[in-house]
Structure 1
Amino acid sequence: MTGEPITLENLASLTAIVPLDLQFRAKDIVAKAKAMAVAAEKHSLNIIFSHNDRGTRFDSELKKHFSAQKHSTLVSGKFYEDAVNSALLRNIAFSKVTTDYLVLLDVDLWLDTDLLKKYFAPVKFGLKAFTILPCLYLSQSGSKALISGKKTAQTLCEDYFSFSRKEFLHLANPSSVIIMLCEDYKSLTGFNTDFIGHGYEDFDFMIRLASKHAQIKTSPDFFDHTTARSPLFAQGFRRELGRLCLSPLIEKDFFLHIFHKKTPESENYYSLRKRNYMLFCKLHQSMTCGSTPKDQTLITEFVETCISLGKSINDYSIYFENKPGHIDRYDTFKRRLKFLMQ
């Protein structure tokens, strides 16, 4: 998205789908779902929440809130009992979509309708098959500033590029925020519900979507799952998918992720994540063909893109900062002290 952007007056032909499961941090998720619904009503955005009802008082509270909403719909049922299955919940939500386009969102996101309008426009007008947006994760301090109105999304963006630390955790590139045609979702048969628990169902979906439109490259290091703080130091499949987000990175456009306490990481959590990774590798083993790129990161391509667009690399210095996120990622003295005492 460079040059003069195409704009939309409304989002009437777009539906957002959001999975909800209150197995963990129920109070936090209910509050965020309510806030997202309020924002959707305000901006007339169709949004479908798919809710796995575990029969708790929080589940009841959630269902009661959505009994009288115009643009927000709650699809609720006892769809499964054990580990969270976000893939299944997304597919259930999609079955209720009646518009031609959709956007995949998570309940922890700050609903930015201006950003949706900007990146929905080229998809709606046939200039792009789909758009994947980066996501900037806020710390507790940054989240409080945004929710209270002390800072706006634009102000926080400016703080990020000024190397402020206390408001931010990391930048996810890519994220699972995807604007696309409903017809593509159907042709891909949606998300793979064999991915259970946390991890890789979104990467699996993005790879299938990008492959459908011949927009992803193969490489021998494709299954490298090394993570990096900087979006430009991504490797493996994160590099190949991250390449699809270079335009919003250059435009400095991100969705903001509201802070939440870390979900308990049980032995089952780790075993399911490992299982999901193995399934991911099995499903996409054909992506490891070809030759290893000369630059196994996105740095060269990002710099070349900036030069071709007449952009100054100095405006994006924060993207090149790849110091491991240790003490500076803790936004209060108490959390820093707790980290140092471990």
Structure 2
Amino acid sequence: MFTVIIPVDLCQRASDITSKAIKIAQSAESSNIKIIIAHNDRAKKYDDFFLKSLAKFEMVNIISDRFYEEGVNSSILRNIAFNLVDSEHVVLLDVDIWPDFNLIEKYSRRITNNCEPFYILPCLYLTKFGSQQLSSNKLTVQQLKSRFYNFSRKEFLHLASPSSVTIMKTKDYKFIGGFDTDFSGHGYEDFDFLVRLLIHYKKIKSTTDFFVNKTARSPLFLEGFRRHLGEVCLETLIEKDMVFHLYHSKPIDSQYYAARPDNFITFASKHSSLIGDIPSKDSTLITKFVELCNQKKIDIQDYSILFDNKPGHIDRFDTFKRRLKFLMNR
């Protein structure tokens, strides 16, 4: 029914990425889910170890070569992996996502039943503590979700909606041209892809504030293009369906993350036609979400956590060292 594609480049976090890829492969094997991994082989020891570690999994197909020389280009890798997809649906996944194939299958079935042409799943980012609890089976997915909606702090960083985790028709990936390989390093290649997908289905409008580039801890407070993309995720959000992003550290002075400003310029330049003359009726998604709860006769009190957008909660840091670094602004 669906195939999962995952880009892998081990130029940083090699051990962490390898262990997470093995976990996904194990889950795919037990669930009989086909995974295609495009691996940029830099001919290092960790690349060889990665390939040997994944070779035993029958449900995992690895395409490995030196596809590019410089920094990480996930767009190239996703497009290469997509070339081997022969299923009706394709799922865009990152190696840091906890594998929940039952959830993915649920939304793949909905696409088959013509409920929606695609789904973008909200993604809850876990702290190191939360990731350890999930990975060691001390907490289940349902228990973690329950803690999130009951205002627990130390397991969670923020909820991303939209995220890059997308379930869609394979023919649509091809129709919109796949990922733009001009995006290199971290950021905005997924927003560009999703904007083009929404344009294809006429689910996006031009507004004066389209390129407001603000992040938020809660998806209800998003503005600009994130708000436009987040609007198509509200149905999924209201069902409390989400994937989990496992914690990883960010390298200091990484060229991968330094690419974000240039990638935003590329993104804004490509979609300049979405700057319109009419402002958004509501700059955030709060009103839309409340209206949806009223339509579905859902108690909005069950979603109180989504109205908490306070930045920089120190109690989200699960160790004294991380709290101290936060207080010292380092």
TM over 0.5: yes
The match for 1:263 is 251
Q: What's 1:8 paired with?
A: none
Contact 1:220–1:291 (8 Å) recurs in 2: yes
Q: 1:202 matched to which residue of 2? A: 190
CA distance in 1, matches of 2:54, 2:124: 28
More displaced 10-residue stretch of structure 1: 65-74 or 105-114: 65-74
Count of aligned residue pairs for this structure pair = 329
Contact 2:157 2:316 in 1 (8 A): yes
Q: Which residue does 2:24 correspond to in 1?
A: 36
1:54-73 to structure 2, matched below 5 A, reads 54-73=42-61
In the alignment, which residue of structure 2 is the partner of 1:322?
309
Match for residue 156 of structure 2?
168
Give the residue type in structure 2 aligned to 1:206.
L
What is residue 237 of structure 2 aligned with on the other side? 249
Measured after TM superposition, the shift of residue 55 of structure 1 is: 1.1
Unaligned runs of 5+ in 1: 1-12
* Aligned position for 2:105: 117
The answer to whether the aligner puts 1:302 opposite 2:289 as a matched pair is: yes
Q: Counterpart in 1 of 2:322?
A: 335
- Give the structure 2 partner of residue 3 of structure 1: none
Whether the 8 Å CA contact 1:229–1:325 is kept in 2: the answer is no
- Contact 1:120–1:179 at 8 Å: present in 2 too? yes
Cα distance, 1:330 vs structure 2:
0.9
Aligned residue in 2 for 1:100: 88
1:271 Cα deviation (Å)?
5.0
| Aligned-pair CA distance for 1:269 | 4.4
Counterpart CA distance in 1 for 2:285 and 2:240 is: 16
Partner SS for 2:6: strand
Query: What SS does structure 1 have at the residue aligned with 2:122?
Result: strand
**Match of 2:136?**
148
Question: C-alpha offsets along residues 215-265 of structure 1, whole Å, 9 cap, x if unaligned?
Answer: 112211111111111110000000000001001110011100011111333
**Aligned match of 2:213 in 216, 220, 225?**
225
User: Displacement, 1:294?
Assistant: 2.7
* Structure 1 residue 311 corresponds to structure 2 residue 298: yes
Task: Tell me which moved more, 112-121 or 44-53.
Answer: 112-121
In the aligned structure 1, how far is the partner of 2:43 from the partner of 2:225?
38
- In the aligned structure 2, how far is the partner of 1:271 from the partner of 1:117? 35
The whole-number CA distance in structure 2 between the counterparts of 1:98 and 1:17 is: 12
Q: Match of 1:90?
A: 78
| Cα root mean square deviation, aligned | 1.2
Work out whether residues 219 and 293 of structure 1, in 8 Å CA contact, stay in contact via their aligned partners in 2: yes
Identity percentage of aligned residues: 51
How far the C-alpha of 1:335 sits from its partner, in A, is: 1.5
Look up the SS of the partner of 1:35 in the other structure.
Answer: helix
Assess if the C-alpha contact under 8 Å between 1:219 and 1:292 holds in 2: yes
Matched, 1:132 2:108: no
Aligned equivalents of 1:290, 1:247: Cα separation in 2: 28
**What are structure 2's unaligned runs of at least 5 residues?**
none
Please report the TM-score for the alignment, with normalisation by the length of structure 2.
0.97
AA aligned to 1:183 is: K
Q: What TM-score, normalized by structure 1, do the two folds share?
A: 0.94
Residues 1:170 and 1:282: Cα distance change in structure 2 (over 3 Å): same
Deviations 1:6-62 (A, max 9, x none): xxxxxxx20000000001110000110011001000100011011000111110011
Which residue number in structure 2 is paired with residue 6 of structure 1?
none
CA contact (8 A) 1:233 1:322 kept: yes
Query: CA separation in 1, counterparts of 2:124 and 2:222?
Result: 15
Partners of 1:282 and 1:26 lie apart in 2 by: 33
Q: Which residue is 1:159 aligned to? A: 147
Letter paired with 2:303: Y
**C-alpha distance in 1, partners of 2:172/2:256?**
31
Partner deviation per Cα, 1:267-319 (whole Å, 9 max, x = no partner): x4465211111110110011111411231000000000000000011010000
Check conservation: 2:75, 2:183, Cα contact below 8 A. yes
Output one character per residue of 1:132-174: Cα deviation in whole Å (capped at 9) or x when no partner. Answer: 1110000011011001111001000000000000000100010
Cα separation, 2, equivalents of 1:162 and 1:259: 21
